[in-house]
Amino acid sequence: MELFWYIVLMTMLTIYVILDGYDFGAGIIHLFFAKKERDKKAIRNAIGPFWDANEVWLIAVGGVLFFAFPTLYASSFSGFYLPLIMILWLLIFRAIGLELRGQIHNSMWEAIWDKAFGISSLLLALFFGIALGNIVRGVNLGMVTDGVSAHEPHFFFLPLWNSTFSPHAEHLGIIDWFTLLLGVIGVVALAIHGANWIIFKTNSDLNQKLKQVVFNLNIVLLILVIISLFSWHIIDPKPFHNFVKYPWLWIFPIITFTGLFGLFKVKSFKKDGFGFLFSTLFLFGGLATTVSSIFPNLLPSTNNVNPSLTVYNAAAHEYGLSVGVYWFVIAAVLVAIYMVIQYRVFKGKMDDVGYGEH
Partner 1 sequence: MEDMIFYDRMQFAFTITFHYLFPQLTMGLSLMIVYFKWRFLRTQIDKYNDAAKFWMKIFALNFAMGVVTGIPMEFQFGTNWAKFSELTGGIIGQTLAMEGMFSFFLESSFLGLFLFGEKLMGQKLHFLTGFLVFLGSWASGYLIIATHSWMQYPVGYEILENGKFVLNNFGALFSNPWLMPAFLHNQMGSLITSSFVVAAVGAFYLLNNKHSEFGKLFVKTGVIFGLVASIVVAFPTGDWMAKNVAIHQPVTFAAMEGIFETEDGGAEIILIGQPDVENKKLDNKIAVPNVLSFLTYQRWDAEIKGLNEFDESVHPTNIPGLYYSYHIMVGLGTIFIGLLLLANIQLFRKKLYETKWILWSLMFMLPFPYIANTAGWYTAELGRQPWLVYNLLRTVDGISPTVSSGNTLFTLLGFIGLYLLLGLLFIMLAGKIINKGPETTKQI
Report the interface residues with partner 1, using CB under 8 A.
48-50, 52-53, 55-56, 58-60, 62-64, 66-68, 70-71, 73-79, 81-82, 84-85, 88-89, 91-92, 95-96, 99-100, 103-104, 143, 151-152, 154-157, 316-317, 319-320, 323-324, 327-328, 331-332, 334-335, 338-339, 341-342, 345-346, 353-355, 358
> Which residue number, 87 or 195, has a Cβ lying nearer to partner 1?
87
- Least distance in Å: CB of 5 to partner 1? 10
> Which residue number, 5 or 282, has a Cβ lying nearer to partner 1?
5
Half-sphere exposure of 336 (CA within 13 A, CB side): 6
Are the C-beta atoms of residues 121 and 91 closer than 8 Å to each other?
Answer: no
CA dihedral sign of residues 31, 37, 42, 47: positive
- Least distance in Å: CB of 248 to partner 1? 30
Are the C-beta atoms of residues 166 and 176 closer than 8 Å to each other?
Answer: yes
Give the Cα separation of 294 and 305 in Å (integer): 19
- Least distance in Å: CB of 43 to partner 1? 16
Task: Name the 3-class secondary structure at 148.
Answer: strand
CB atoms within 10 A of CB 242: 15
> Which residue number, 169 or 224, has a Cβ lying nearer to partner 1?
169
- Least distance in Å: CB of 112 to partner 1? 11
> Which residue number, 97 or 286, has a Cβ lying nearer to partner 1?
97
- Least distance in Å: CB of 20 to partner 1? 12
> Which residue number, 225 or 353, has a Cβ lying nearer to partner 1?
353
Half-sphere exposure of 104 (CA within 13 A, CB side): 12
Of 4, 155, 134, give the one whose Cα is nearest residue 75.
Answer: 155
Note the helical H segments in the chain.
Answer: 2-33, 37-47, 51-68, 70-79, 81-100, 107-137, 177-201, 206-235, 241-245, 251-262, 274-294, 318-345
> Which residue number, 149 or 231, has a Cβ lying nearer to partner 1?
149
> Which residue number, 245 or 358, has a Cβ lying nearer to partner 1?
358
- Least distance in Å: CB of 319 to partner 1? 6
- β-pair type (144-145, 148-149): antiparallel
What do you get for the CA distance between the two ends of the chain, in Å? 49
- Least distance in Å: CB of 347 to partner 1? 10
Of 185, 273, 199, give the one whose Cα is nearest residue 29.
Answer: 199
- Least distance in Å: CB of 267 to partner 1? 32
> Which residue number, 25 or 102, has a Cβ lying nearer to partner 1?
102
Are the C-beta atoms of residues 194 and 209 closer than 8 Å to each other?
Answer: no
Are the C-beta atoms of residues 120 and 90 closer than 8 Å to each other?
Answer: yes
Give the Cα separation of 338 and 172 in Å (integer): 43
Give the Cα separation of 211 and 213 in Å (integer): 5
- Least distance in Å: CB of 337 to partner 1? 9
> Which residue number, 75 or 293, has a Cβ lying nearer to partner 1?
75
